[in-house]
Amino acid sequence: MPATIPLKLEQIFALAYQALCEHGCDHDNADALADTIMRAERDGSVSHGLFRLPAYIKALKSGKANPTAKPKITQATAALIKCHGDNGFAPIAQRTAIPHLITAAKTQGIAMLAITHTHHMAALWPEVEALAEQNLAAFACVSYMPAVAPAGATKAFFGTNPISFAWPRKNNFPMVFDMATASQAMGEVQLAAREGHSVPEGTGLDANGKPTTDPEKIANGGVLLPFGGYKGAAIAMMVELLAGGLINESFSYEAKQRDNGDGGPPQGGQFILALNPQRTAGEGWEKHCEDFFTKLLELEGTRLPGERRHKNRQDTGARHINKALIDTIASEMKDADKILKK
Ligand code: NDP
C-alpha cells in the first residue's frame, strides 16, 4: 500500500485554499474550489479531490485559468440562464449561477443553465445535489478533451464526458448518480496506475489499439472505451452536443486544439437542467417516488447511487491522503508544513 498522511477536513480545505491563493487566486475563487476539493475528499470521491490540485495549479501557473474570475450572469429568458465563467474554474461559476437556476426552476417548472468559459475537472455530483436539496430534480454534464474512442474506433474523440442526475427525497439525502460515460473516469485509471492495480477488461486499449487491463498503458498513449459499447458512445455524443453545440462551447476535440497542454483542465462549458416536480407532478409526488424507492430497495442487493458518499460523509475524522501527492502539493507551496503539522 502506498504511504498516506492523515489530514482532517479543515486541513484539506486549508491546504487547497492556501495553494490556490499562493498561485494568484482571490478569496472567492480559492474558497469555491477548495470547498469542492474538500467535499470530494470528505465523500470519498478521491479521484476528484486533492488529486486534481496539481493540475489546477498548472492551469494557474500557465495563465490558462483566471484566478480572480468574476462570472457574469445573463437571464436570457425566464427559464434560460447563461453564465460566462470569465475563464475561471467551474466552482465559482456554479456558486454564482446556481441560485439563479433554482429561482427560475421554482417559478417556471423547468430551467436550464448554460455555463461557458470555465475549466471543469471536478466530480459532477455537487451541482446536482445542491439543486435536489432545493426540491428540484437535476441533470448536468460536461465534456473534456478526447480520451474515449467512439464505438468501433481505436482513437480518442469523446471526452470522458460525465453525466450526473439528482432526485430530491423527503427527510432523506437526495438520490444522486454521477458517472463518466467512459468505462471509467481517467482519474480512476490514473489512481489504479499509481497504486499498481489492473483495471477490468473493456476499460481501454493500449497505444496499438489492443485491449489491455494495464492502467499505465491506457493512461499513457492508449485510449478509454465508452461504457456499454455503442450505447455509452451515444450518451457521450449527447454530452458533446449539450455541453458544446447547444451552448456554443467547445467539443472535446476543439478544447484540445485550443488547450495549451499544461496538464490542467481545458476551457469548456457545462449544461445543467433543473426540473420542479411540484410543478410537473403536483401534490403527492414525494410519496409516489418514496414508494418507488422503497420497492426498489426491497430487492436484495440494491442500494441507491450516492449512498456510499453519504456514508463517508458521516465520518468526520481524518482522510488518509497519498503521501507522494502531499509532497507534490507541498513542493508548490511556501510553507505547507504550517497546515500539515496542525
Ligand atoms: P463510479 O463508476 O464510481 O460511480 C458511478 C455512480 O454509480 C455513482 O453515482 C455511484 O454512487 C453509483 N454506484 C456505484 N456502485 C453502485 C451500486 N452497487 N448500486 C447503485 N449505485 C452504484 O463513477 P465513475 O468512475 O464513472 O466517475 C467518477 C467521478 O469522475 C464522477 O464523480 C465524475 O463526475 C468524475 N468525472 C469528472 C470529469 C470531468 O471532466 N470533470 C470527467 C470524468 C469523470 P456512489 O458514489 O454512492 O458509489
The string of DSSP codes covering 251-290 is -HHHHHHH---SSSPPEEEEEEEEE-HHHHT-TTHHHHHH
Asked if residue 9 has pLDDT above 90, the reply is yes
CA distance linking residue 7 with residue 25, whole number of Å: 23
Ligand 1 centroid distance, CA of 314 (Å): 19
pLDDT band at 156 (very low <50, low <70, confident <90, very high): very high
Q: Which atom of ligand 1 is nearest to the CA of 181?
A: 26
Ligand 1 centroid distance, CA of 180 (Å): 7
Average pLDDT (68-88) is 98
Asked if residue 72 has pLDDT above 90, the reply is yes
Residue 262: per-residue pLDDT: 97
CA distance linking residue 81 with residue 119, whole number of Å: 19
- What would the CATH number be for the domain defined by 71-182+226-305? 3.30.1370.60
Average pLDDT (92-109) is 98
In the block, residue with C-alpha cell 470521491: 45
Mean confidence (pLDDT) of the chain: 97
Cβ(309) – ligand 1 distance below 6 Å: yes
Ligand 1 centroid distance, CA of 341 (Å): 32
Asked if residue 1 has pLDDT above 80, the reply is no
pLDDT band at 85 (very low <50, low <70, confident <90, very high): very high
To the nearest 10°, report the CA torsion of 53, 55, 61, 63.
-120
Cβ(185) – ligand 1 distance below 6 Å: yes
Cβ(113) – ligand 1 distance below 6 Å: no
Cβ(306) – ligand 1 distance below 6 Å: yes
pLDDT band at 299 (very low <50, low <70, confident <90, very high): very high
> Which of 11, 6, 8, 12 minimizes the C-alpha distance to 38?
12
Residue 67: per-residue pLDDT: 98
| Percent of the residues in the chain that have a pLDDT greater than 70, as a whole number | 100
Query: Rounded to the nearest 5°, which phi and psi values hold at 147?
Result: -150, -15
Task: Note the pTM of the prediction, 2 decimals.
Answer: 0.96
Residue 203: per-residue pLDDT: 96
Q: How many CB atoms lie within 10 A of CB 333?
A: 18
CA distance linking residue 6 with residue 267, whole number of Å: 33
Cβ(144) – ligand 1 distance below 6 Å: yes
CB-based contact 221:207 (threshold 8 Å):
yes
Does 1-61+307-342 carry CATH code 1.10.1530.10?
Answer: yes
Nearest CA to ligand 1 atom 14: 305
Q: Which atom of ligand 1 is nearest to the CA of 178?
A: 9
CA distance linking residue 263 with residue 255, whole number of Å: 13
Ligand 1 centroid distance, CA of 17 (Å): 25
CA distance linking residue 274 with residue 52, whole number of Å: 27
Give residue limits of the domains in the chain: 1-61+307-342, 71-182+226-305
CA distances from 197 to 1, 45, 79, 201, 204 (A): 11, 18, 46, 13, 14
Ligand 1 centroid distance, CA of 191 (Å): 14
The best mutation among 178, 186, 188 to test binding of ligand 1, ranked by most ligand atoms within 8 Å of the C-beta, falls on 178
**How do residues 120-146 score in pLDDT, each as one tens digit?**
999 999 999 999 999 999 999 999 999
> Which of 237, 251, 264 minimizes the C-alpha distance to 149?
237
CB-based contact 268:249 (threshold 8 Å):
yes
CB-based contact 312:43 (threshold 8 Å):
yes
CB-based contact 9:319 (threshold 8 Å):
yes
Cβ(184) – ligand 1 distance below 6 Å: yes
pLDDT band at 186 (very low <50, low <70, confident <90, very high): confident
Residues labelled as active-site residues: 47-48, 188
Asked if residue 188 has pLDDT above 90, the reply is no
Residue 118: per-residue pLDDT: 98
Residue 214: per-residue pLDDT: 96
Cβ(48) – ligand 1 distance below 6 Å: yes
Asked if residue 185 has pLDDT above 90, the reply is no
Q: Which atom of ligand 1 is nearest to the CA of 188?
A: 25
b/e burial code for range 308-321 (CB count within 10 A of at least 16 → b):
ebeeeeeeeeebeb
> Which of 92, 64, 84, 37 minimizes the C-alpha distance to 266?
64
Ligand 1 centroid distance, CA of 178 (Å): 5
The best mutation among 179, 190, 270, 307 to test binding of ligand 1, ranked by most ligand atoms within 8 Å of the C-beta, falls on 179
Nearest CA to ligand 1 atom 41: 121
CA distance linking residue 67 with residue 261, whole number of Å: 18
Cβ(45) – ligand 1 distance below 6 Å: yes
Q: Which atom of ligand 1 is nearest to the CA of 164?
A: 34
